[in-house]
Chains A and B, each alone.
Chain A
Amino acid sequence: MTALPTSHGRGAPQAGTRGARNGSLAWLTVPALLFFVGFGVVPLIGVLALSFTTWDGIGDIRFSGFDSWRAVLTDPGLPHALWVTFLIMALSWLVQTPASILLGVFLAGAQRYRALLSVLYFIPLLLSSAAIAITYKALLDPNFGLGAGLKIGLLTQDWLGRPVLAVSVVVFVVSWQFIPFHSLIYQGGVRQIPRSMYEAAELDGAGRIRKFFSITLPQLKYTMITSSTLVVVGSLTFFDLIFVLTAGGPGDATRVLALDMYKRGFQANLMGPASAIALILVFVGLALSLLLRRLGGGKSDTSQLEGA
């Protein structure tokens, strides 16, 4: 109180710092914004422009109106690629979500061995997709793979040579790789559920299963939406693993949209149609993530958690 003049003197520069800090904060977003515009927005506009041209990647770029779009939209390959993309998306969601929730709930326990297990489960996430694909390809080889080596008939299938099996293998490997990641998300979600809810339920005589379905699952709603968005949007752009594992084969059984785009653009030198597919991918991805946000009631920022 005695130091009123000084406190005033101190206060003024403080306000000044705060103002400068806000100003500098806005300014600090500029590099990130530049980065995003330079490597995100500008290429996207470029792709939009390219989709109205004919270009083989080498010669001159010629404007050709809606030719590329017409070629892509009338190609029977497009509905097929969309179907395969959505099939793999739906199957990997169906496999990953229940498995990740169960693992996440299990790992959320405080026991020591569970902490150890969660470290072990995390390992697949540390490997690169290409390395995983090469390894699985070697293991699944019908003549030199695991089945042939151990002489187990059941494992000696033409895993990547039959359409149904190839899709299943892709879903399996994708799930194997990403279940650890989603388990981690659920583990965090479960740990945030207040203990008091379980205690109240126990007083009412609820068993383990009842508690899981009545407390854990409803409380994980927003975690599920986050995780599902990642699964869905992630599987849209799935490329490296499929490219190495099956190259879209057998025939075109695992040719997802992203792979179709690559093949058209960089193998068939059709940059126009490839750009059109890239835009379709962008639209589908945006639409899906919007849809998932809507499913969450549009206010996934709010929480049901106590005290939050």
Chain B
Amino acid sequence: MESRNTSRRTFLSLSMGLPLGAALAACGSSGPTRPGGASGGGTKATYWYLSTQPQEGIRTAAMERFNKANPNGQIAGTTFQNDAYKTKIKTAIGAGQAPTIIWGWGGGGLRSYVQAGQVEDLTSWFGQNAAVKDRLFPSSFGAATVDGKIYAMPCETVQPIVLYYNKKLFEQIGAQPPQSWGDIMDLVPKFNAKGIAPFSLGGQSRWTNMMWLEFLFDRIGGSEVFQAVFDGQKDAWSNPAAIDALTKMQALIKANGFIKGFSSITADSNADQALLYTGKAAMMLHGGWTYGSMSTDGGDFVSGGSLGYMNFPPVDGGKGDPSDTVGNPGQYMSISSKASPEQKEIAKKFFASVLSDEEVKAWVGIGSVPIVKGADSAFGSSKDAEWLKFVYGIASNAKTFAQSWDQALSPTAAEVLLDNIAKLFQLSISPQQFTSNMNAVIGK
């Protein structure tokens, strides 16, 4: 009996000991080397980016074009899934193992890298290379700027949040798309009476709810209401416009404005979009990226012209500019301050090549608007020309293009914000409780 026990234990220790030894050996040999450090043929810069298609193909193609043109200073790319990337890049930067080129969303995340001294200040580089800066949308630089200095190169596409609607359902009840907040509240009982949900919402994802507040705050109080929060002014959430927006939000929820069960629907599964194109919900406030997925998943919904879209309507008596929008003003690439000088040079060279004519064409080809001035000249031949013109119009005419709140704020404040937004939409806290909870994390 005893010998049987010990032999089992022996086996266990061995089986556990072996991988440990292997892990230790691996640490010893590969741990301290910086990824992309001088290896083989000359210095290489490293670049991590997202693997979602069709975007991944465009990113890879841009990198390969650069490598072909610069045989002496190449870039080695690695792709990651969206959510895995968010954790991975944070850990890598914290451990001093960041890639040369750090792909990201700008805003609060970038600010935390800047505060930790992990990314290069690019202000003077943009000063010397004004041409690189001047051909991009000026609005794309807001989220790349921390305390007046530019730390990231804006790239890729602009993704405003728009109000989508199902034209067929509006015909069915004989109504027009809303021109004001009052219209929205009037439409709610009309759709509910026909058994159609007025709005689709993937509430479990929380940032989906946030898009509503972003627009209501802007339309009621103007862009300065959230700007005050962003700037860290004391009690900025207590602005009367904020209370008004939160109250209006809860009034819409209480009037059954959103589909039944919205707080158990996630945006990741695209179920919220499915509700719109299957005719279960009449309208949806969502990011510009959903146009592409609705045209692939929604059968002839988009190609048959049933999808309508518009900017969020004004709120009666509100101070906000109706041309304002929110969303992602671009994507961002920063340079790790831990990279070698050669790697930094390669990265800067790569930045100068960003959004070449080929790349612009590729983005337009998948229904996205690149952040380049005059990109609209490439729209003509696209089957999505009307949509592209609409997005280009919103992005280039917006008086303020605000960044999504959860991206603009620090990760700490963003988590508290999303948590409180979920509770606000559950009607488990009042607007006053929301503002006092949020005031507590201002500037954190």
A interface list, Cβ under 8 A from B: 25, 28-32, 34-35, 38, 56-60, 137-138, 140-144, 158-161, 163, 166, 246-247, 249-252, 263-264, 266-270
Within 8 A of A (CB), among B1-38: 6, 9-10, 12-14, 16-18, 20-21
Contact (Cβ within 8 A) A58 B112: yes
B interface list, Cβ under 8 A from A: 6, 9-10, 12-14, 16-18, 20-21, 87, 90-91, 93-94, 112-113, 115-118, 203-204, 206, 259-266, 269, 271, 274-275, 280, 410-412, 414-416, 419, 422-423, 426, 428
Contact (Cβ within 8 A) A250 B13: no
Complex interface: chain A residues within 8 A of B280 (CB): 143
> Contact partner of A141 among B264, B412, B423, CB < 8 A?
B264
Closest to A166 in B: B264
Contact (Cβ within 8 A) A158 B12: no
Looking at chain B's contact residues, the main secondary structure is helix
Closest to A268 in B: B415
The 5 closest A-B pairs by CB, nearest first: A31-B17, A142-B261, A59-B116, A160-B264, A268-B415
**With contacts A57-B94, A59-B112, A137-B266 known, what are 20 further pairs, Cβ within 8 A?**
A34-B20, A58-B116, A58-B118, A141-B264, A142-B261, A144-B271, A144-B274, A158-B260, A158-B264, A159-B261, A160-B204, A161-B263, A249-B206, A250-B203, A251-B263, A252-B422, A252-B423, A264-B415, A269-B410, A269-B412
Contact (Cβ within 8 A) B261 A158: yes
Complex interface: chain B residues within 8 A of A159 (CB): 261, 264
Looking at chain A's contact residues, the main secondary structure is loop
Count chain B CB atoms within 10 A of each CB in A38, A252, A268, A270 and give the residue with the most: A268
Contact (Cβ within 8 A) A58 B20: no
> Contact partner of B412 among A59, A251, A270, CB < 8 A?
A270
List 16 contacting pairs A-B, 8 Å CB cutoff, sorted by A: A31-B16, A32-B16, A34-B20, A56-B116, A58-B116, A142-B265, A143-B261, A144-B274, A158-B261, A161-B264, A250-B203, A250-B426, A252-B419, A268-B412, A268-B415, A269-B412
Contact (Cβ within 8 A) B264 A140: yes
Contact (Cβ within 8 A) B20 A28: no
Closest to B117 in A: A59
Complex interface: chain A residues within 8 A of B118 (CB): 58-59
Contact (Cβ within 8 A) A29 B9: yes
Complex interface: chain B residues within 8 A of A264 (CB): 415
